[in-house]
Chains A and B, each alone.
Chain A
Amino acid sequence: MRRHPPDGKLQALLDRELGPAQRLRLRLHLRRCARCAGRYEAVARANADVAGLLSQVGLTVDPAEAWARFVVRSGWRAARPTIPLVGRLLVPAVAGAAAVASYMAWPRPHPTTDLRPADLLERIGEAVNDIVLDLCCADYDGGGLPDDGLLTLNGPGEVVKLVVVYEDVDRNRAFSAGDRLRFVSSRPSR
């Protein structure tokens, strides 16, 4: 070290705030430079003076008693067990995976674009034992006109497995090939 270190550097050495290489360089310099060694001692003395003076305004605190007061003050929130980091990460991950799996397992609504009213009528016609309920007409889609029909399909004693909302385009007040499908949904039957 060619230059003499500033007092701040000596203070950092005293406070163990320097890296190993810097510490070593500075120590070597202090060994060779009597002036800097004297300055280092002066900084150390000032530190000791400050510590001595501040100890005059110190006090002792009982953390156990303070903790009890803190728990009450916090409305017992402070006493709640904390979940470790692994748990904090794992719980949302597992919950998320379960939610995705559940969503994927649930039967998707049939995209109305894939299905024509004629196809649907054919399917309904094949299910000869199923009960078909066709309610027409009302404003099911909120469009302001009572021109929507609601059709449900279920086997005897079974829950509804098909729900269709259609627009009664041909105004025959029943589901027919000329109507427009607005929504088709199927649910698993028991």
Chain B
Amino acid sequence: MGIRRLFERHYPAVVRFLYRRLGDRDQAEELAQEAFTRMLDRRLRRPTAWLYAVAANLARDAARGEAMRARRLRLLAGELADAAAPSPEQALLREETSRRVRAALVSLSERDRLLLLLREEGLTYREIADVIGISPTSVGPLLTRAQRRFVRLYRDATTEARDASASS
């Protein structure tokens, strides 16, 4: 498959995958472009798995950086400020949900996060296994557990937020 077809097929999903991991659209697009640039002139047997593995590594490196941490704090502060600003109720609720979802994702282990996000982008168990470095038969059981943890983390955060607003 040519690079253009791969790009058209996977670019939006790779950006989404990176955005969900990093919470920064500009950086997600930048890293997705970098992943596709690295793909140029390569003859890959399983390009999808390779692409997501590179994207996951790039995201991990980016998340480790001190600059990224500072940037995320600023973004979070911005989000909180936005949430505090008067806006339509639905938009506020959506913003709050999005923040909690991202917080739940961040709280997951690297493997659980990858499992959820890669499956959400439609990768097969074999591709997911290639990216994470596990056996394809392990994907189903690990995915089930990751989903439960994620939903539980999100619900706990929601309950905490309700309790906090009720007590204030």
Contact = CB atoms under 8 A, between A and B. Distances in A.
Interface of A: 6-12, 15, 17, 43, 46-47, 49-51, 53-54, 56-61, 63, 66-67, 69-70, 73-74, 77-78, 82
B37 A46 contact: no
Contacts of A67: 4, 7-8, 11
A7 B147 CA distance: 12
A57 to B, nearest CB: 5
A139 B16 CA distance: 72
Contact of B25 (A17, A46, A54, A59): A59
Interface string B5-47: 0011001100110011001010001001100110011000000
B120 interface: yes
A49 B138 CA distance: 22
B37 A12 contact: no
B2 interface: yes
Given A78-B3, A78-B40, A59 B15 contact: yes
B3 to A, nearest CB: 6
B125 interface: yes
29 contacts: A7-B141, A8-B138, A8-B141, A10-B140, A11-B141, A11-B143, A12-B125, A12-B139, A17-B140, A46-B144, A49-B151, A53-B150, A53-B151, A53-B154, A56-B94, A56-B97, A56-B101, A57-B20, A58-B16, A60-B12, A61-B16, A61-B29, A63-B8, A66-B32, A67-B8, A69-B33, A70-B7, A70-B36, A70-B37
A6 B20 contact: no
Contacts of A9: 140
Contact of A54 (B20, B23, B138, B141): B20
Interface of B: 2-4, 7-8, 11-12, 15-16, 19-20, 23, 25, 29, 32-33, 36-37, 40-41, 94, 97-98, 101-102, 104-105, 116-117, 119-120, 124-125, 138-144, 147-148, 150-151, 154
Contact of B140 (A15, A57, A58, A82): A15
A49 B153 CA distance: 12
State the main secondary structure of chain A at its contact with B: helix
Contact of B101 (A12, A47, A53, A77): A53
A58 B12 CA distance: 10
B120 A61 contact: no
Given A46-B148, A53-B150, A59 B19 contact: yes
B120 A54 contact: yes
Contacts of A70: 7, 11, 33, 36-37
A59 B16 contact: yes
Contacts of B20: 54, 57-58
A66 B29 contact: yes
A73 B33 contact: yes
Q: Could you say which of A8, A11, A57, A70 has the most chain B C-beta atoms within 10 Å of its C-beta? A: A57
Contacts of B2: 82
For the complex of A and B, 3 pairs with smallest distance between CB atoms: A8-B141, A8-B140, A12-B140
Contacts of A58: 16, 20
Nearest to B120: A54
Nearest to B104: A53
A54 B144 contact: no
Given A15-B125, A77-B41, A56 B98 contact: yes
